[in-house]
Structure 1
């Protein structure tokens, strides 16, 4: 992603329409969400295999995703033509979805407690999330 930003920054004085469309794609974050979901999927599949060794079956594990575009890319093969720039190594998440090793439900932004680790909040939202994950009692 940073390579794309650097490449676009060279044209910031006299941008063309093609440069602006790339910048819009960067801001949409379609690639970042998909790659993050694929990395999470890799970890889930590893844990599933480890647990099978102990006799536990955790197939069809839910990976909650807050980005509708990412979910569409995982579920819809037709979307693939718009994601040619994503490295092939990340597309195994589709196979895992088709084999029902994972699910990819949408999580509402208000319920996404992982944002506590990645975003800034006002005090009330921060306290709500800290209580939600059980770090402190209400």
Structure 2
């Protein structure tokens, strides 16, 4: 499996969770527009936004392609996040102290 396919599948799973949270917020009486999601893989974003059949991704389960419909309807807004602004790096990569502090700032965690 390629990195693009793995990221695409992860975005689809995250979208599923985002829709569940959007439904919960709606039940609480708050209306929300499209859920903004970030992805650091440009190829996965292109694959999600492009409705054309891709022979190289034919083995991806159909349930992951639901993300395409959600993007077209505006329920999900998928955007690229630059590596320097990716707060998830703190959990997935070895980072230097400066990057660690920057990631803490991105998630609004203050250091003492």
Inter-partner Cα distance in structure 2 for 1:109 and 1:129: 11
Partner of 1:125: 99
Answer with 1 or 2: which has the greater Rg: 1
DSSP-derived class of the 2:38 partner: coil
The Cα of 1:129 is off from its aligned counterpart by 1.6
Partners of 2:87 and 2:103 within 8 A in 1: yes
1:45 aligned to 2:26?
A: no
1:68 aligned to 2:45?
A: no
Aligned residues: 112
The Cα of 1:132 is off from its aligned counterpart by 3.1
Inter-partner Cα distance in structure 2 for 1:39 and 1:102: 12
Question: Normalization by structure 2: what TM-score?
Answer: 0.89
Root mean square deviation, CA, Å: 1.7
Partners of 1:72 and 1:79 within 8 A in 2: no
DSSP-derived class of the 2:80 partner: coil
Question: Normalization by structure 1: what TM-score?
Answer: 0.74
Matched ranges for 1:1-138 at <5 A: 1=1, 26=2, 29-78=3-52, 80-137=54-111
DSSP-derived class of the 1:59 partner: coil
Structure 1: 4+ residue segments shifted above 6 A: none
Partners of 1:33 and 1:70 within 8 A in 2: yes
- Structure 1, unaligned runs of 5 or more: 2-25
Greater fraction of residues in helix = 1
Inter-partner Cα distance in structure 1 for 2:99 and 2:25: 35
Inter-partner Cα distance in structure 2 for 1:90 and 1:72: 14
